[in-house]
Amino acid sequence: MKFLLDKEKIFFEKAFFYYIWKKHGYEIGDKCLFVKGENIKGSSGRLAVRDGIYNYLKLDSNYLNESSNLPDYDRAIKKFKPRKVFGYPSAIYQLALLYSRSCVKPPEFDLIMLASENTYPDQIAFIKSIFSCDSVFFHYGHSEYAVLATKYHDNDCLGFNPFYGHAEIIKPDGQLAEAGESGEIIATSYSKSMPLIRYRTNDFAVVSGYQSNDYMRSYLAVDKIEGRLQEYIVTEDQRLVSICTMGAAHFEELGPVLDSQYFQDEPGRLVFKVCCPEDEYTSTLEKNIKRAIERKLENKVKVYVKNVPDIRRTSTGKKIMIEQKLDINQYL
């Protein structure tokens, strides 16, 4: 299916985000590190390039799983001296991993802006600790451009912007979810070309009772986005477990692992792909990872760990945290 957009939508989108980013401390023209799926190395061999229009330093995200590239990344970052970061959570997390496993002092940032992928609390906490940054902004959006939720200033709740689109959180019985209850995000867009009326997003959220006293006071607050429908693991007894509740792909037992991804094609069986240097991938590491994931899943899933050369991204460089081949609708 294709979705038609108003021709001015791209400008509205930029206006919304520049307004929100400014509230969090970003000004147009600020030096900013850009880590968002760029493929720039090519024949030049460079891993970073300057974008003079936006005042960005763009990193090539395709080589963040190789520790030997950290000196080149670090040299470019410290020469450019950005105080802001904008990019995919998975890419910024990989950069943080490289620093954490080296003797190189990480740069410090005033603001980190995460975009285009799901965010996970443990992942965010790790990024904040490595880059000594207390201010991390993230949001929820989708390619249909129907609704937008952005992080509040005082906590990690998200608020749906009523000026962007109309959001409802609906329980399986068709009733509006109340504080503490989970439901599907139902979106109504303000598009003139192809308005979406009560569109089912297949994304789920937990409603919050929080209300701010600033410009977001009229927003619909949610405690968290529980995950997209296909970001659930099916246990052997056919229960659904969100990878958000498991800490996604950041936990202590990963050790030297630089990248990872879940894969499932049958209930109760899960493959956990890891990207780890061969000389550091041991049977002990494999057993520890397997045991940790099975424990998180209450031993209702048999886990197989597989070391792979790399984790494939989408055509735009986004990471898919779980390659889910099962139709999750069958288990709702």
Mean pLDDT for all residues in the chain: 90
For residue 216, what pLDDT is reported? 96
- Averaged pLDDT, 190-198: 93
167 in Cβ contact with 183 (< 8 Å): no
- When pLDDT is averaged across residues 19-38 and rounded to a whole number, the result is 93
Return the closest-CA partner of residue 112 out of 151, 81, 86, 88: 86
Q: Determine the pLDDT at residue 90.
A: 87
- pTM as predicted: 0.82
Mean of pLDDT values over 287-305: 92
The full set of domains in the chain, from first to last, is: 25-134 (no CATH), 143-228 (no CATH), 232-331 (3.30.300)
Q: Which of 89-103, 152-166, 209-223, 230-244 comes out lowest in average pLDDT?
A: 230-244
pLDDT tens digits, one per residue of 217-227: 999 999 988 76
| Per-residue model confidence (pLDDT) at position 248 | 60
Q: What residues contact residue 19 under an 8 Å CB cut-off, 6+ apart?
A: none
Give residue-wise pLDDT tens across range 205-216. Answer: 999 999 999 999
Would you say residue 43 has pLDDT above 60? no
Query: Does the pLDDT at position 1 exceed 80?
Result: no
- The predicted pLDDT at position 224 comes to 86
- Asked if the model's pLDDT at residue 323 lies above 70, the reply is yes
> Distance between CA 321 and CA 227 in Å, rounded?
11
Q: Is the model's pLDDT at 73 over the cut of 90? A: yes
Residue 42 confidence (pLDDT) above 80:
no
- pLDDT, residue 86, reads 96
- How far is 160 from 168, CA to CA, in rounded Å? 9
Confidence check: pLDDT of 17 > 90:
yes
User: Residue range 270-299: average pLDDT?
Assistant: 92
3-state percent helix, strand, coil for the chain, nearest multiple of 5: 25, 30, 45
The yes-or-no verdict on residue 32 having pLDDT over 70 is: yes
What average pLDDT does range 164-190 have in this prediction?
A: 96
Q: With residue 293 as reference, give the H or E element that holds it.
A: helix 283-296
| Confidence class for position 61, pLDDT limits 50, 70, 90 | confident
Residue 230, pLDDT score: 76
Range 16-24, long-range pairs (CB < 8 A, 24+ positions) = 16/148, 16/161, 16/164, 20/137, 20/139, 20/150, 21/113, 21/137, 23/153, 23/215, 24/111, 24/113, 24/135, 24/137, 24/153
Inter-residue contact 294 to 269 (CB < 8 Å): no
In contact, 124 and 173? CB cutoff 8 Å = no
Confidence (pLDDT) at 157 = 95
- CA atoms of 169 and 204, how far apart (whole Å): 8
How far apart are the C-alpha atoms of 263 and 53, rounded to whole Å?
Answer: 40
Residue 249 has pLDDT above 70, yes or no: no
Range 271-308 burial, b when 16+ CB lie within 10 A, else e: bbbbbbeeeebeeebbebbbebbeebbeebbebebeee
Residue 284 has pLDDT above 90, yes or no: yes
The amino acid at 324: Q
The stretch 24-51 carries a mean pLDDT of 85
Q: Residue 198: its pLDDT value, please?
A: 97
Q: Per-residue pLDDT for 41 more than 70?
A: no
Give yes or no for residue 20 having a pLDDT over 90. yes
235 pLDDT band (50/70/90 cuts)? very high
